[in-house]
Structure 1
Amino acid sequence: MTPMLISPAQAATALIAGCIGLVLLAIAASPIITVANQQLAVLHKKSFHDKLAKQIASMATTLGCLFFTGIAAGSVHIAVQNPEIFQGPFRLPLMVSLGAVTFSFALLMAYTLLWKTMRQSKSLHMLIGLFAAISMISALFLIYGLANSMLREGHVVPAGAGQLEIFTTIYTVSPASAMWPLFVQSLLGGLGASGMFTQCYLLLRRNRDDFGRDYYKFAAPSAAKWALIPTLMQLVPAAWLFFMLQPTLGTPATDNITMWCWLTAAVMPLLASGLWLRVMRSETPMRHKISMIAALPLAMLAAAAQMIAVTYQLGV
């Protein structure tokens, strides 16, 4: 294999894409964490879980308003510049995917905005959150399945196929497809990213939402745990993906940049996990601001490194 060279522009693009990807995955995974904390609040009769759930939902909604607005603008731009995408066989699946994203974010917004209104109807409120979580996961699957089909070589959709046949063809994914480890890793990575961003959100809102020292002594380690465990778990599907793509990797060598990218993608989450472990074990977790913030670039660097490696090996 010819050694790969990464230009500064490619590296910068990967870092930006990695950052955006982590934020979007965190938004998608946040309802899972919020509903889990609401349920824990009911089981343990501890209001701290409910307060943390509300803060996570508020964070996800705020980030979603910013990033999904950008996605909507980008979709319109792509539609204007590449109208053929919305006219070919992928038109309906693409519209359904965009619709699923819009619907799931609308559910997330309703879930967040109705928090106080539905305080006396916690079960119904949690049900909205559960629907938001399921719709987010479904939207993610629709996007990954569509991308998997669009990037596949050859004519995936038969000529003259009906809408049902188009959907069946696109979303019938082989068990040997690289989409599956990517999808599983994205779900776990999203949970970890949500926990990571929650720690930073607690720091940003500390003065405005002063819930007392005891709350932050609970909330910061809890968010760190949500960051730590899923981040370590996502290394399993990442390894699955690595060995699946290993035949295209070439011989391990010091000049094999793809190998170094994979190594970076494995080491950076471990370093970030070490920082979160410090927060979890501390008696004064909110004093570990540097650890909470320093984990961000480590996670983004890992995402960017894996993105470079995977896109190169898949020939994208």
Structure 2
Amino acid sequence: MTVFHFLAAVVILMVGLACTILPFASVWDRRLAVARRRSLYDKSASQVESLTAVLGALIAAAFGADLLLSGSIDRLMTGEWRIVWEGMVMMHAFAALCAVIVLYSKRGLRNAFSVLSGLAFAAASCLCVLLVWAFLMGAVHGSSGLEAFGVVLASMKSADFVLFVLFSIMLGASGGYGLALCWHILLRNRDDFGRDYYSFVLGMRSRQASCAGLFLIMVTAVQYSLYPQLSKDWALSRLPFAGEYAEAILTGGMLCLPAAFALWYSMSLAALPMQKRSYAFLAMLLLVTGAYCLLIRI
């Protein structure tokens, strides 16, 4: 397992679970638009739906290409893992299709397809969490058999797996709201809804991202308290360029998660959040870095 493999696992977890969160966020926004009679929520939901479709299509295309072309992930999926892998790819493809249909549906069917895509992404994310957990346990190396599959299933009853699931959910929520925040900023020139809209939506998304980030920090603190020490050889294999400082860098790198929370929270307090738009992109970089440093400890 290389640095690239762990980084890919972090990105796959974050994007996969973000796609699970975003459809329900758009449905909730549309409900609020009706309840509070504010069109700002409808505009926000439309932008979130387009982000869900883009992320869903990208991850489905990436997984589909890896499956069809026997890529690096597909070569590892042998035996029982192949069924899980192919099921995950198909569920992502179906979820992405539903997410795209949402963009062209009328109001009556829009929420129904959004919920359907969210449920499909949730099913795919469950399989994704299982595969990443097996990868972290060393059970997915292209030669795993039924015994390794049984060991992974048995380990799902442990407290470590529960913490990993909580970490994945909070990472997906933080990443989902963080990506939505960046997406709203990127659409500023295309969808010119005015300063009031962007002050409202950026403030709302940054508050949601900071709340999810706070829960992620709590899970991180529990995980670190259980495993405060990290093998020097293991740390060096993950950061070969850091030499004897690899362990300290990986431990200190977990502080990127509180830093990301601080940026989101600062943005949520700003009267004009668009003036601090660089915080949104920097926070995503810190989130991935901090999640990488934590994932190595699992």
Fold shared by both chains (TM-score > 0.5): yes
Residue of structure 2 in register with 1:102 after alignment: 93
Residue of structure 1 in register with 2:262 after alignment: 274
Counterpart AA for 2:126: F
Counterpart AA for 1:178: D
Q: CA deviation at 1:259?
A: 5.7
**Change in CA separation of 1:28 and 1:291 when aligned onto 2, cut-off 3 Å:** same
Q: CA deviation at 1:147?
A: 4.4
Residue of structure 1 in register with 2:118 after alignment: 133
CA distance in 2, matches of 1:155, 1:273: 39
Of 270, 295, 305 in structure 1, the residue corresponding to residue 283 of structure 2 is 295
Deviates more, 1:74-83 or 1:131-140: 74-83
CA distance in 1, matches of 2:288, 2:112: 32
RMSD over aligned CA atoms reads 3.3
Q: Is the 1:249–1:259 contact (alpha carbons within 8 Å) kept by the matching residues of 2?
A: no
**Change in CA separation of 1:100 and 1:271 when aligned onto 2, cut-off 3 Å:** same
Q: Which has the higher contact order (CA 8 A, sep 6+)?
A: 1
Q: CA deviation at 1:55?
A: 0.4
Counterpart AA for 1:89: E
CA distance in 1, matches of 2:73, 2:59: 21
Counterpart AA for 1:279: M
Deviates more, 1:9-18 or 1:201-210: 9-18
CA distance in 2, matches of 1:155, 1:13: 17
Between the two proteins, what is the percent identity of the paired residues?
21
Q: Is the 2:20–2:119 contact (alpha carbons within 8 Å) kept by the matching residues of 1?
A: no
**Change in CA separation of 1:241 and 1:256 when aligned onto 2, cut-off 3 Å:** farther
Residue 188 of structure 2: SS of its match in structure 1?
A: coil
Q: CA deviation at 1:16?
A: 5.9
Counterpart AA for 1:261: L
Q: Is the 2:217–2:258 contact (alpha carbons within 8 Å) kept by the matching residues of 1?
A: no
CA distance in 2, matches of 1:156, 1:238: 32
Q: CA deviation at 1:21?
A: 4.5
CA distance in 1, matches of 2:199, 2:72: 50
Tell me which stretches of 4 or more aligned residues in structure 1 moved more than 6 Å: 79-84
CA distance in 1, matches of 2:8, 2:134: 25
Residue of structure 2 in register with 1:4 after alignment: none
CA distance in 1, matches of 2:90, 2:10: 24
CA distance in 2, matches of 1:127, 1:156: 40
Structure number with greater Rg is: 1
The reply on whether 1:261 has 2:250 as its aligned counterpart is yes
Residue of structure 2 in register with 1:205 after alignment: 187
The reply on whether 1:142 has 2:123 as its aligned counterpart is no
CA distance in 2, matches of 1:59, 1:13: 25
Write out aligned runs for 1:165-314 (5 A).
Answer: 174-176=156-158, 178-244=160-226, 246=227, 249=230, 257-258=246-247, 260-265=249-254, 267-310=255-298
Once the two structures are superposed, what CA deviation does each residue of 1:9-42 show, in whole Å capped at 9, x if it has no partner?
A: 9556655654554334323321132122222222
CA distance in 1, matches of 2:68, 2:189: 39
**Change in CA separation of 1:260 and 1:223 when aligned onto 2, cut-off 3 Å:** same
CA distance in 1, matches of 2:72, 2:276: 47
Q: CA deviation at 1:185?
A: 1.6
Counterpart AA for 2:94: F
Give unmatched runs, 5+ long, in structure 1: 1-8, 160-165, 311-316
**Change in CA separation of 1:98 and 1:65 when aligned onto 2, cut-off 3 Å:** closer
More helix, by proportion: 2
Q: How many pairs does the alignment contain?
A: 283
